Amino acid sequence: MDFRHAMKGRRALSAVAITTGLLLTVAGCGGGGDGKSDKGSSSTSAPATSGSHGDTPSAKAPEGAPALAEVKGGDITLTITSAVRDQGDFVTVNGKVTNGGGQFWIASNWRGDERELSGNGASLAGAALVDSKGKKKYLVLRDTQGRCLCTKFEGGGVEAGQSAEWFAQFPAPPAGSDEVEFQVGSMPPASIKISEGE
């Protein structure tokens, strides 16, 4: 009797394993199929998880939308394309950094000076939103290990003549404080207006 129960259990376990394998195969083959990465996908329901490190920017501006702000620091141009206040009491800022110089640009000074942020490498961990009206500075959101909810630049920066998209998430200033300054590293402050998410 024990032998029969053991055989039934093994067959059931084999069936579950095969079914799970088939489901994973189908799930892996499904989706977009256009060969493009999901770096530009959008999600406005909640902040990015700590494990994303910039893989999934939220509340991205529509293609062709005018930039909110653009500032230059040497050969680097920082463009902000959107700043959206979402229902979860956070603001997602999206943009692009362009290296107009002839050498690889290392984004190390954008990660911030705090010891807690040192593990973020070349990222926007040191970015901030400054609300002059409310006299407050909002730092990038981070998880319990100090990882920022922001883009971490692959390879540590941007190649000469290239651009990279980025995002950073912040606590939302109170309603009515929609005009803020975005600051990061040695770049000049960029004045932006926060819009309401859907």
Fold of 69-196: Immunoglobulin-like (2.60.40)
* Residue 5 in this model has a pLDDT that exceeds 60: no
| Inter-residue contact 38 to 53 (CB < 8 Å) | no
pLDDT tens-place string over residues 24-62 = 443 444 444 444 434 333 333 344 443 334 444 444 545
* Residue 115 in this model has a pLDDT that exceeds 50: yes
Average of per-residue pLDDT values in the chain = 74
pTM for this model (two decimals):
0.66
pLDDT score, position 112 = 73
| Inter-residue contact 57 to 42 (CB < 8 Å) | yes
Q: How far apart are CA 42 and CA 86, in angstroms?
A: 12
Highest mean pLDDT among 59-63, 72-76, 121-125: 72-76
pLDDT tens-place string over residues 131-158 = 988 899 999 998 888 888 999 888 888 9
Which tokens sit at 190?
Answer: 């960029």
Amino acid, res. 21: G
pLDDT score, position 2 = 53
Residue 14, phi-psi category: left (phi > 0), alpha (psi -120 to 50), beta (remainder): alpha
pLDDT score, position 36 = 40
| Inter-residue contact 122 to 108 (CB < 8 Å) | yes
| Mean pLDDT of the 178-193 span | 92
Kindly indicate the confidence band of residue 64, based on its pLDDT and cuts at 50, 70 and 90: low
Domain ranges of the chain: 1-30, 69-196
Kindly indicate the confidence band of residue 7, based on its pLDDT and cuts at 50, 70 and 90: very low
* Residue 183 in this model has a pLDDT that exceeds 90: yes
3-state SS assignment for residue 177 = coil
pLDDT tens-place string over residues 85-112 = 988 889 999 999 999 999 999 887 787 7
Q: How far apart are CA 65 and CA 81, in angstroms?
A: 7
Radius of gyration over alpha carbons of the chain, in Å? 22
3-state SS assignment for residue 92 = strand
